[in-house]
Structure 1
C-alpha cells in the first residue's frame, strides 16, 4: 500500500505543496522585512522634512526681519543724504572748499585757488596737497 503509485504521487504532491508554502512564507517574510525597513525610512524622511520645514520657516522669518531692517536703513540713509545736502547749502564755507577741491582736480594752482575762493595760501596749499592726483 505504501508503494502504490497513487500514494507516491500524493506524497510527492504534498511535498511540492509544502515546499511551495515554505518558499511563499519565506518570500512573505522577506517582503515584511522590506516593508518594515521602508516604513522606518519613511519615518526618518518625515522627521528630516519637518526639520527642514522648520529651518525654512526660521530663515523666512529672519529674511523678513532683515528686509525690514534694510528698508529702515535705506530710509535713514535718504534722510542723512537730505540733511547733508541741506548743510552743504547752508554753509557757504563748505561751498568754497568744494569749489576749491574741484579747481584742484581740474589742475588749478595755489594762486588761482586763493584768488577764486578767497582763501589764505596755507589753506590753498593744504587743499592742493590733499586732493592733487599723484
Structure 2
C-alpha cells in the first residue's frame, strides 16, 4: 500500500507541478500579448508622427524653393541696378569732359595748383577777374 500512496503522491506532485507550469505559461502568454499590443500602439503612433514629419519636410522644401527663387530674382535686379548705376556714372563722366566750360575751369584750377598768378589764369582760361580771384581764394583755403 505504501507503493500506491507513493505513486499517488508522485502523481499529485506531478499534477500540481503541471498546473503551476500551465499557470506560469498562461501568465507569460498574457504578458507577451500586452507587450505586443503596446508595441503595435507605439508603431501606429510612430507611423503617424512620421507622416506628420514628412508633411512638414515637404512644406519646408517648398518654402526653401520659394525663397531661393526670390533671392535669385533680387540678385538679378541688383545686378541690373548696378549696371544702370555704372552707365549713369559713365554718362556723367563723359558729360563732364564734353562741357567746354568744365574744361576751362579744370584747367584754371590746375594752373592755380601749379602756382600761376591771377593775371595768367585770366589770360589763358579767358576768365573774368572775379572768377579767377574766387578760384585763387578757394585754392588758398583748401591748403
- TM-score under structure 1 length normalisation: 0.71
Number of equivalences: 130
Is 1:21 matched with 2:29?
yes
- SS of the equivalent of 1:4 reads helix
In 2, Cα distance between the equivalents of 1:85 and 1:25? 89
- SS of the equivalent of 1:81 reads helix
Is 1:72 matched with 2:80?
yes
Higher helix share: 2
Say if 1:16 and 1:62 are closer, same or farther in 2 by CA, change over 3 A: same
- TM-score under structure 2 length normalisation: 0.67
Number of the residue aligned with 2:60: 52
Structure index of larger Rg: 2
Is 1:88 matched with 2:96?
yes
In 1, Cα distance between the equivalents of 2:110 and 2:46? 75
Say if 1:74 and 1:21 are closer, same or farther in 2 by CA, change over 3 A: same
Say if 1:100 and 1:15 are closer, same or farther in 2 by CA, change over 3 A: farther
Residue deviations 1:67-100, cap 9 Å, x none? Answer: 2112211221222122112201211222345566
Say if 1:62 and 1:100 are closer, same or farther in 2 by CA, change over 3 A: farther
List runs of 5+ in structure 2 lacking aligned partners.
Answer: 1-7
